[in-house]
């Protein structure tokens, strides 16, 4: 079984052809690195898989069934969670409120559904512990460091029983120690049987944790290789175009 | 929890409510009340206090709705006009139904008139909300247009004449809109009840949380599955409803609804929300702020009257307070490095 299959996926924003003929697969529990220069189309691809946009061409299959996501909720229902490049969290809310945004826990009092603050704080605390992140559930995101924000965005993906987690540059703009934490976390997700599509500009990230690397250049897939049979030099060449394909 | 070295524990005085604009505006209000009481003891007389509490309730009730809109990052300039049209329609229904068979059922005329007036406010809010949430029109321009449309309707349907509230149940109308209960003016009781409801809505329901999330990061809210358009439409409907209620109460107090009822009130209402801590950039605000902001404006107005300051100065002073309140907040945020 393959988890995710893309076949000839393309996307245009008006006159801009951001993606064309992208085909690759992600297996269950596999960590795939997605690399490419600025504007190569990585975020666009993530947003298509996550149901934020529809592709203009091509088909997408999840667990061997063709899927048409009309909204992020559809992708989430199928078992796909995302950490967006700009994290998509609300600064003016607490960590716990962000984690549960759109799927709050409730309890019934006098016939009405009220937010269950205690349960959400408790679950958030557990998630942060699991992620070994030093983040308080009640803290406002506005007061948090980049690594803590990242932890909030990642903790969100752990609420449901996800099968595939898309991470758009989770290690950009955080400290070296925090990068190590995020990478360790990705390995732990894999151990739990969760597949990860990791977008990164950092070669060491990809070579540390990924099983395979997929390279996009100007919207086209130019490589899809096992990490074991590639090298940072080769991938750099593929990204810049010094190497045509591999 | 363990001793996290990289998590700065924020000291108690710069956290939560105590650190909010609402908190120091409350403090300013308390100091002002104390100062006026010393300078002009008649401030504390029963009659004067009762007047102040009534007057500020009209503004405060609408400031709740206005604050909800402001938290989402929007603005509603049409509230003054909505107050006017809702009160006019309610008064017209009340007059028209008085001599009909409906009057045989006790309270029916009043109930239908009030519901009719509220429906007018809700409809105005719904139109605002749909235009803003679904077609992406700017809130400022949309509600500015609505301000003018609705005020025009007020003059057109009344021919510029006031509508007297008369009919068999007029006394019931006045008791419910301008009476007292346990010695408190009823508008104040409506204000307090609505304030509690708004607090529960904002802080203890998912809908309320979405209102904050949209103001904080609308795109993120949409990505996480928050029904952004419905929530946005909802806050304008609530804004229209609070305006309608306040307009009807104001009509009951006056005994007659002039075509220019609450003309220009939108500025006082928005000022009250902003002074109380609602941030026009979105994401911040609450019922307590709406109450404190309205109270501060009214106490200043009343204080200036008692001090026999020319009433023309009121507007100038209120404007200065608006700027002072947001300026203090700005300086404080900068000090905390936010
Ligand atoms: N909403 C949009 N409307 C129009 N064009 C867009 C939009 N989003 C992206 N693009 C264009 O599509 C192309 C691919 O963008 P995308 O954000 O997917 O790149 P990326 O690989 O994620 O880049 P980066 O490394 O900078 O994050 C770019 O040319 C970009 O300008
Ligand atoms: Mg990107």
Same domain membership, residue A74 and residue A184: yes
Same domain membership, residue A183 and residue A63: yes
Domain residues for the domain of A116 are: 92-160
Report d(CA A121, CA A129) in Å as an integer.
12
Instruction: Give residue B231's pLDDT.
Output: 98
Instruction: Give residue B130's pLDDT.
Output: 98
Higher-pLDDT residue of B14, B88:
B88
Greatest extent of chain A over all pairs of C-alpha atoms, in Å: 67
Name the least confident of A139-148, A214-223, B26-35, B241-250.
A139-148
Task: Categorize the per-residue pLDDT at B99 as very low, low, confident or very high, splitting at 50, 70 and 90.
Answer: confident
Task: Categorize the per-residue pLDDT at B225 as very low, low, confident or very high, splitting at 50, 70 and 90.
Answer: confident
Mean pLDDT of chain B: 89
Protein residue with least CA distance to atom 1, ligand 1: A13
Cβ of residue A42 lying under 6 Å from some atom of ligand 1: yes
Ligand 1 mutation target, pool A12, A19, A34, A40, most atoms within 8 A of CB: A40
Q: Tell which of A112, A140, A160 closes a domain.
A: A160
Question: Which SS3 state, helix, strand or coil, does residue A199 take?
Answer: strand
Please report whether residue A85 resides in a domain.
no
Residues of B in contact with A156 (CB under 8 A): 224
Instruction: Give residue B104's pLDDT.
Output: 85
Query: What is the mean pLDDT of the segment spanning B291-318?
Result: 87
ipTM: 0.85
Instruction: Give residue B310's pLDDT.
Output: 83
Kindly report the nearest CA distance between residue B228 and chain A, in angstroms: 11
Task: Categorize the per-residue pLDDT at B122 as very low, low, confident or very high, splitting at 50, 70 and 90.
Answer: very high
Same domain membership, residue A151 and residue A32: no
Task: Report the domain count for chain A.
Answer: 2
**Strand pairing category for A195-199 and A31-36:** parallel
Same domain membership, residue A6 and residue A58: yes
Q: pLDDT tens per residue, chain A (246 residues)?
A: 799 999 999 999 988 999 999 999 999 999 999 999 999 999 999 999 999 899 999 999 999 999 999 988 899 999 999 988 777 899 999 999 999 999 999 999 988 999 999 999 999 999 988 877 888 999 999 988 888 888 899 889 888 889 999 999 988 877 788 788 888 888 888 888 999 999 998 999 999 999 999 999 999 999 999 999 999 999 999 998 888 777
Query: What is the mean pLDDT of the segment spanning B91-114?
Result: 91
Instruction: Give residue A185's pLDDT.
Output: 83
Q: Tell which of A160, A183, A218 closes a domain.
A: A160
Task: Categorize the per-residue pLDDT at B224 as very low, low, confident or very high, splitting at 50, 70 and 90.
Answer: confident
pTM: 0.88
Same domain membership, residue A151 and residue A39: no
CATH number of the domain where residue A237 is located: 3.40.50.300
- A90 and B221 in contact by Cβ < 8 A? yes
CATH of domain B43-326: 1.10.3470
Same domain membership, residue A166 and residue A75: yes
Read off the tokens for A148: 């803590």
Helix (H) or strand (E) holding A220: strand A220-226
Same domain membership, residue A155 and residue A181: no
Instruction: Give residue B5's pLDDT.
Output: 40
Q: Tell which of A123, A138, A160 closes a domain.
A: A160
Task: Categorize the per-residue pLDDT at B18 as very low, low, confident or very high, splitting at 50, 70 and 90.
Answer: low
Query: What is the mean pLDDT of the segment spanning B102-111?
Result: 89
A235-244: long-range pairs with CB below 8 Å, 24+: A235/A35, A235/A203, A235/A206, A236/A203, A239/A35, A239/A36, A239/A37, A239/A40, A239/A215, A240/A37, A241/A217
pLDDT score of B333 more than 80: no
Instruction: Give residue B39's pLDDT.
Output: 86
Three-state DSSP string of A41-102:
CHHHHHHHHCCCCCCCEEEEEECCEECCCCCHHHHHHHCEEEECCCCCCCCCCEHHHHHCCC
Same domain membership, residue A236 and residue A168: yes
| Neighbour count for residue A190 (Cβ, 10 Å) | 18
- A113 and B206 in contact by Cβ < 8 A? yes
Same domain membership, residue A173 and residue A64: yes
Instruction: Give residue B85's pLDDT.
Output: 98
Instruction: Give residue B337's pLDDT.
Output: 53
Same domain membership, residue A69 and residue A2: yes
Instruction: Give residue B145's pLDDT.
Output: 97
Same domain membership, residue A228 and residue A183: yes
Please report whether residue A87 resides in a domain.
no
Kindly report the nearest CA distance between residue B241 and chain A, in angstroms: 22
Same domain membership, residue A166 and residue A134: no
Instruction: Give residue B1's pLDDT.
Output: 37
Instruction: Give residue B336's pLDDT.
Output: 57
Report d(CA B282, CA B213) in Å as an integer.
9
Partners of residue A83 on adjacent β-strands? A167
Please report whether residue A84 resides in a domain.
no
Instruction: Give residue B75's pLDDT.
Output: 96
Please report whether residue A241 resides in a domain.
yes
């Amino acid at each position: 079984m393959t988890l995710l299959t893309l076949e000839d996926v393309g996307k245009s924003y008006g006159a801009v052809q951001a993606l064309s003929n992208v085909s690759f697969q992600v297996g269950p529990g596999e960590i795939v690195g997605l690399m490419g220069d600025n504007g190569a189309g990585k975020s666009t691809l993530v947003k298509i898989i996550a149901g934020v946009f529809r592709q203009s061409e091509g088909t997408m299959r999840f667990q061997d069934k063709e899927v048409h996501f009309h909204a992020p909720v559809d992708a989430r229902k199928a078992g796909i969670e995302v950490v967006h490049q700009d994290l998509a969290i609300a600064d003016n809310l607490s960590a716990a409120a962000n984690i549960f945004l759109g799927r709050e826990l409730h309890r019934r009092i006098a016939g009405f559904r009220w937010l269950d603050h205690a349960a959400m704080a408790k679950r958030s605390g557990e998630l942060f512990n699991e992620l070994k992140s030093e983040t308080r559930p009640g803290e406002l995101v506005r007061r948090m460091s980049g690594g803590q924000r990242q932890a909030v965005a990642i903790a969100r993906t752990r609420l449901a029983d996800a099968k595939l987690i898309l991470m758009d540059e989770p290690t950009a703009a955080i400290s070296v120690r925090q990068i190590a934490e995020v990478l360790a976390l990705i390995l732990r997700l894999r151990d739990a049987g969760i597949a990860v599509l990791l977008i990164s500009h950092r070669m060491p990230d990809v070579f540390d944790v990924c099983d395979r690397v997929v390279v996009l250049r100007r919207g086209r897939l130019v490589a899809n290789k096992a990490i074991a049979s590639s090298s940072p030099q080769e991938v750099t060449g593929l990204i810049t175009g010094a190497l045509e394909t591999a | 929890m363990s001793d996290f070295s990289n998590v700065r524990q924020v000291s108690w005085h710069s956290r939560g409510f105590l650190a909010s604009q609402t908190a120091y505006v409350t403090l300013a209000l308390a100091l002002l009340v104390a100062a006026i009481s010393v300078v002009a003891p008649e401030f504390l007389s029963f009659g004067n206090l009762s007047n102040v509490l009534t007057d500020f309730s009209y503004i405060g009730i609408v400031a709740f709705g206005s604050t909800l809109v402001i938290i989402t990052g929007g603005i509603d300039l049409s509230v003054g006009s909505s107050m006017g049209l809702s009160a006019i329609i309610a008064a017209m229904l009340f007059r028209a139904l008085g001599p009909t068979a409906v009057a045989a059922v006790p309270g029916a005329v009043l109930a239908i008139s009030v519901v009719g007036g509220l429906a007018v406010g809700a409809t105005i809010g719904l139109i605002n909300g749909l235009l803003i949430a679904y077609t992406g029109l700017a809130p400022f321009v949309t509600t500015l247009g609505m301000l003018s449309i609705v005020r025009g309707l007020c003059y057109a349907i009344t021919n510029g004449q006031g509508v007297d509230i008369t009919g068999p149940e007029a006394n019931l109308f006045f008791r419910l809109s301008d009476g007292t209960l346990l010695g408190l003016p009823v508008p104040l009781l409506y204000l307090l009840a609505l304030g509690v409801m708004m607090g529960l809505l904002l802080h203890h329901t998912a809908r309320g949380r979405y209102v904050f999330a949209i103001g904080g990061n609308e795109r993120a809210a949409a990505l996480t599955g928050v029904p952004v358009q419905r929530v946005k439409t909802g806050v304008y409907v609530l804004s229209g409803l609070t305006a309608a209620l306040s307009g009807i109460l104001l009509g009951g107090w006056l005994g007659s609804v002039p075509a220019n009822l609450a003309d220009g009130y939108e500025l006082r209402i928005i000022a009250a929300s902003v002074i109380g801590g609602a941030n026009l950039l979105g994401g911040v605000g609450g019922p307590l702020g709406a109450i404190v902001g309205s109270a501060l404006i009214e106490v200043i107005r009343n204080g200036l009257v008692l001090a026999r300051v020319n009433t023309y100065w009121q507007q100038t002073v209120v404007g200065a307070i608006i700027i002072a309140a947001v300026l203090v907040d700005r300086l404080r945020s900068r000090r905390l490095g936010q």
